[in-house]
Amino acid sequence: MLTSEKLNQYLSNVLPKSNILTGLEERYAYSQDALNTPEIKNIAGAVVFVENIEQIQAVVKLAAKHKIPVVCRGAGTNVVGACIPENNGIILNFSKMNKILEINPANMTARVQAGVVVGDLQKEVEKFGLCYPPDPSNLAVSTIGGSIAQASAGAKAFKYGSTKDYVLDLTVVMADGSILKTGSSTIKNATGYNLSTLFVGSEGTLGIVVEATLKLIPKPETRIVMMSYFDSVDASIQAVNSIIEHKITPATIDFMDRNAIQTVEDFKGAGLLTNKECALIIEVDGLACAVDYQKNIIEKILVNYGAAEIQISGSDDEYDRIWSARRASMAACTRLKPNVTTDDLVVPRENLAKLVSGVREICEKYGLTVCMVGHVGDGSVHPQIPIDYNDAEEYSRFKRAKSEIYKLTAKLGGLLSGEHGIGMLKREAIGLVINETALDYMRQIKKTFDPENILNPYKIF
């Protein structure tokens, strides 16, 4: 195995020494992400802070020559081990490549470097009356490059789609150091294969995304968020179906189960009702006259399906209070045990109630607490399980529960990830939901793009 000292020597020939970290503590810190399970003991050989495309090309060419793995890292907020090195190698850190290169109001596009923070981009384009809709829950820190790598989505995917729907063009450094452009700044593109989509969700295994041209939309004139409480998950989903049948497309249809509501209320004191089975968080946006019209219809539907109380934001502060409660669910879970895991399951919406009840039953069977939040409109659920990794017996129960949860998801016609990715966490289970023929073609694509397997090796499968 290449030593860290030798790797440092190689890197110093192509990069300023100030851009390279080789200390043990430094390498350890950047070799982790939000997965953080007990099995992870891998440490990169070096961490490199790249500042431009030329530096990335130099590192990749060096890596290709010496067969050194290269793992890209944005903010490290992914929860599937997607940016953890598995066999030494180089961590490419993009925190210095964080420039918004262009916002073009005429084209309604933005061209950005991979290290741009999603929330920062949203704030900047709003100054031009525009909007970048994808909103992962950690948008205050998560990066565009990471969002592209993991095909992230967020609460507004029901109406606006996910990251893949906003990528028009990518600049990618390939495994041999060459540059690939995948598209253009045009909204339409029927010219050859859609290579942009191929890279979205590839978790850095096919190439290194360094720049992206993203589609923007007009910023909605206004928005409101409604929070309502139900005595059953079934009733809440029936209410959602009725809203859709009335030809209303909310920006967001999220939910929290009773454990999530209670845990967040204990954490924040947000004024949530804690005696109900679940809550819906519904956001409506658009022209003010249309928002008011839709709000009235939705309110009647919620009452008709037994909503106990309906809270409607009447100001930005009230809007932020409701959403901060929803987004605080994982942080709140950390109060219950030293560690907390979250997952990302997606099923056809008609099977969502079965998934929620099934996950609860499995966790009860293995003596685990679970707090569930998710996106009802997408059929997406995030089971958050507080756990103590130092308790070997509890961790063993947790792993058995996870296995059963994945099998349940497959049985309900679902997938193991709707917006978090596969990484190293779920690769052993991917065969439950993707057939062998499809996996074989994926492996062939990987080998075509990265014949020496140096780009984030052994992720996904």
Mean pLDDT of 192-211: 97
Mean pLDDT of the 222-238 span:
95
| Separation of alpha carbons 186 and 181, rounded Å | 13
Which of helix, strand or coil describes residue 332?
A: helix
**Which residues are CB-contacts of 194 (< 8 A; sequence separation ≥ 6)?**
183
What is the residue extent of each domain of the chain? Answer: 4-93, 100-218, 222-327, 336-419
Please answer whether residues 356 and 376 qualify as being in contact, where contact means their C-beta atoms are separated by less than 8 angstroms.
no
pTM of the model: 0.95
Show the DSSP H helices in 269-351 as ranges: 288-304, 316-327, 329-333
Regarding the domain delimited by 336-419, which CATH topology (the fold level of the hierarchy) does it fall under? Alpha-Beta Plaits (3.30.70)
In percent, the amount of the chain with pLDDT more than 70 equals: 100
CA-nearest of 156, 172, 105 to 419 is 156
Is the pLDDT reported for residue 310 higher than 90?
Answer: yes
| Residue 419 C-beta-side C-alpha neighbours within 13 Å | 28
Mean pLDDT estimate for the chain:
95
Please tell me the predicted confidence (pLDDT) of residue 109: 98
Kindly report, residue by residue over 424-447, the tens digit of the pLDDT. Answer: 999 999 999 999 999 999 999 999
Tell me, rounded to whole angstroms, the distance of Cα 364 from its chain centroid: 27
DSSP-derived letter for residue 219 is P
Q: Which CATH architecture has domain 4-93?
A: 2-Layer Sandwich (3.30)
Q: What is the mean pLDDT of residues 98-109?
A: 98
Tens-digit pLDDT profile for residues 33-80? 998 888 777 899 999 999 999 999 999 999 999 999 999 999 999 999
Beta bridge partners of 361: none
What is the secondary structure of 43-84 as a DSSP string? --SEEEE--SHHHHHHHHHHHHHHT--EEEESS---SS-TT-
Residues 6+ apart with CB under 8 A from 441: none
Topology agreement, domain 4-93 and domain 336-419:
no
Distances (CA, A) of 428 to 84, 363, 423, 424, 461: 16, 21, 10, 8, 7
What CATH number does the domain located at 100-218 have?
A: 3.30.465.10
Q: Which residues pair with 214 in a beta bridge?
A: 110, 167
Q: Indicate if the pLDDT at residue 2 is higher than 80.
A: no
Q: What was the pLDDT predicted at 1?
A: 62
- Structure token pair of residue 419: 């917006």
> Which of 418, 259, 286 has the alpha carbon at shortest distance from 347?
418
In the numeric block, the tokens 């100001």 are attached to 315
Kindly indicate the confidence band of residue 3, based on its pLDDT and cuts at 50, 70 and 90.
confident
DSSP assignment of 86-120: SSS-EEEE-TT---EEEEETTTTEEEEETT-BHHH
CATH number of 222-327: 3.30.70.2190
- Closest to 135 measured CA to CA, from 90, 172, 166, 104: 166
